[in-house]
Amino acid sequence: MIPTATESMTSYRPGDILLIDLPFTDDTASKQRPVLVLIDQGDDDIVLSRITTVYRPNMPYDYEIKDLNSARFSTKSYIRLTKVFTIEKTKVKATLGHLSEPDKIALNALIHKLYTL
């Protein structure tokens, strides 16, 4: 039997910006970091992309968030589309903000470019 989401389970919308404990790649520790919700299918997991303040000119699939107020950021921040992962919703610490519609439209175009086979 496949488990289903409970009525009390929180749901997230694509474009929500969350705070999670993001484990280091070697699993020795974790640090609270902002992430972007890409997919929530209503089960126990969500698909996320990392958000960073570190600009890397050699990363063509980093998207600079234009509307920092909607995202609730005070510093230039970038969605790193090549760093996508799935976590359990129980790992979410807080909801920080949401991408504006213009940011979502531009990000969707970049996602389409990245994931076109």
Residues 67-114: pLDDT tens digits?
999 999 999 999 999 999 999 999 999 999 999 999 999 999 999 999
pTM of the model: 0.87
Domain extent listing, the chain: 16-115
> What are 117's strand-pairing partners?
none
Name the phi and psi angles at 44, rounded to 5.
Answer: -80, -10
* Per-residue DSSP letter, 91: G
3 contacts: CB under 8 Å, gap ≥ 6 = 43, 44
The CATH number of 16-115 is which of 2.30.30.110, 1.10.10.10, 2.40.10.340, 3.40.50.300?
Answer: 2.30.30.110
Residues 2-33: pLDDT tens digits?
444 444 478 999 999 999 998 777 778 888 99
- Least Cα distance to 18 among 49, 45, 61 occurs for 49
